[in-house]
Amino acid sequence: MPLDSRAGFPTHWTAFDAVADRPALAIHCTLAHAGSWKGLAAEMAQDVAITAYDLPGHGRSADWDCRGDVQEVSMDMAIDLLENQIGGPADIFGHSFGGTVALRLATVRPDLVRSLVLIEPVFFAVAYQDDPTIKPRHEAHLRPYIDALKAGDMLEAARVFTNAWGDGRGWDRIPPEVREDMAKRVFVVHESSPMLNEDSAGLLKPGLLAGVTCPILLLEGADSPDYIAAINKGLMRRLPDSRREVVDGAGHMLPITHPAETAALIRSFLKDVPA
């Protein structure tokens, strides 16, 4: 579990045990860490060799110091790992915020992306563009979190965010030390808002996503909010070689709560992607 500088940012990553030598890079969701891919990596050990890294302000990577665009820094860390650790192109798995990092990576460095697996990418700007009625509903959903942030109550902000986007176990079942850690890091969620809600990175510029020609699998849980389906449907319309699958009984944290079902869908997808 090395820790060194990647794209100038102190970065921790994990290379999971695998039988396969086909490389994959996994990018986790907000308030998680590289270890969140453990279950999926075990399910897919015969198929891919997964390397995962801790995003800025997460896990054992350095705290986020607001040095710029957190999505861009996260992408640059991925590029460094692909070029200097993995040694070339890989299948890229991204969950939630990590899915938006993976998508941006494919627009900037398509030579490093063999395929994309985007698991509930929270690129809300897509849904807003396609259906303006979604934005006020999503903002209402976020209001208690925003109110807690404005009040400086980071523990409450983390509680609200985790109950909305967590794995369903509930805040009270999370160990106190983990809750405190989430409270310390939850401000990074707000740092990503311009990219996710306003498309400050410009991914929705005409023709840009149409130029992402690698095979893409869009995954979501059947029990997730309907604007997640709107995002995936919108991305499928914009990405030329994409397909969409839904995991029954799952919510936003499907790679953690449903690793076998998620792995089966990824495995089927990768059969059509040459190594």
* Cα gap 123→12, rounded to integer Å: 25
Single out the residue of 102, 90, 152, 134 nearest to residue 233, CA to CA. Answer: 134
Please report, as a single letter, which amino acid is at residue 188: V
pLDDT of residue 274: 93
What is the radius of gyration, based on Cα positions, of the chain?
A: 17
Fold of 3-131+195-270: Rossmann fold (3.40.50)
Three-state secondary structure call for residue 91: strand
Cα angle 4-12-160, degrees, rounded to a multiple of 5: 140
Q: Long-range contacts made by residues 178-186, C-beta under 8 angstroms, separation at least 24?
A: 179/155, 180/155, 182/31, 182/158, 183/154, 183/155, 183/157, 183/158, 184/154, 185/31, 185/57, 185/58, 185/63, 185/64, 186/31, 186/149, 186/154, 186/157, 186/158, 186/161
pLDDT of residue 1: 60
Single out the residue of 55, 43, 61 nearest to residue 5, CA to CA. Answer: 61
Secondary element (H or E) of residue 137? helix 134-150
* Cα gap 14→95, rounded to integer Å: 16
Query: Which segments within the chain are labelled E, that is strand?
Result: 3-6, 9-15, 23-27, 49-53, 90-95, 113-119, 216-221, 242-247
**pLDDT tens, position by position, 3-29:** 889 999 999 999 999 999 999 999 999
Phi, psi of 119 (to 5 degrees): -100, 105
pLDDT of residue 168: 74
pLDDT of residue 166: 79
Cα angle 209-248-159, degrees, rounded to a multiple of 5: 80
* Cα gap 196→69, rounded to integer Å: 12
Check: CB of residue 214 under 8 Å from CB of residue 221: no
- For 265, the token pair is 């869908």
Which one-letter DSSP state was computed for residue 86?
I
Three-state secondary structure call for residue 73: helix
Please report, as a single letter, which amino acid is at residue 25: L
Show the low-confidence residues of the chain (pLDDT under 50).
none
CA-based diameter of the chain, in Å? 51
Q: Which residues contact 14 (CB under 8 A, 6 or more apart)?
A: 1, 34, 35, 37, 51, 52, 53
